[in-house]
Amino acid sequence: MKFFIDTADLAEIRDLAATGLVDGVTTNPSLVAKTGRQFLDVVREICAVVPGPVSAEVTATDTATMLAEGRKLAKIAKNVTVKVPLTPDGLKACKVLSSEGTMVNVTLCFSSAQAILAAKAGASFISPFVGRLDDIGQSGMELIREIVEIYRNYPHFKTEVLVASIRSPMHVTEAARMGAHVGTLPPAVLRQMFAHPLTEKGLATFLADWKKTGQSILADGEKVAAE
């Protein structure tokens, strides 16, 4: 399963990218607005940090303007993925942009029927929002199960299931068990995945036992190179 980071915060992206666990980044107008910076500058800098797909969303709602915005975004870097909404105009733009060789992420998916349309339009990624469905009493993970099952029935569909609106590590593990291709995680959720009380307890025990030996792996004065 690939991990994308759902943020436009460059400091967070750089820190998490250093773990080697980050395969891409997703942004949206709300996340970019939080930075207080120019949208195109933020996208350009993210693309320089993360070599994988970087989703940058159009803000238009009509096909012609979506195409103009999408083509401009695609020129920023080869790893830009143009994000369009799952609307008739958005899918028209998806079809054209994908035929031009641009990666397209179709966002705001809330049904398996919508996911079928996105795949037929040539989307590189479909973004079902699991957390937002959970918020209204529907099962977001059941939607992921349905989409993965449908896509497997049609090998010619090349669209990857990108699980969005992830709220917890449980969402990630459930999506992985179902075979979803990508999870886009808020930085806090990825950090939560590292944590387990038994890991912390075990490490504390090992370090305490090591201290009793009075030994050191590095000799006195031996320098540690900055990474």
Closest among 139, 57, 138, 152 to 103, alpha carbons compared: 57
Taking the C-alpha atoms of residue 23 and residue 98, their distance in angstroms, rounded to an integer, is: 21
2 counts as catalytic: no
pLDDT for 219 equals 87
Q: Active-site residue among 75, 83, 92, 120?
A: 83
Two tokens at 54?
């970087």
Residue 174 in this model has a pLDDT that exceeds 80:
yes
58-115 pLDDT per residue, tens: 999 999 999 999 999 999 999 999 999 999 999 999 999 999 999 999 999 999 999 9
pLDDT band at 227; cut points 50, 70, 90: low
Domain count, the chain: 1
> Residue 207 falls within a domain, yes or no?
no
Do the domain assignments include residue 127?
yes
Could you tell me if residue 123 is inside a domain? yes
On whether residue 211 sits in a domain, the answer given is: no
pLDDT of 220 reads 83
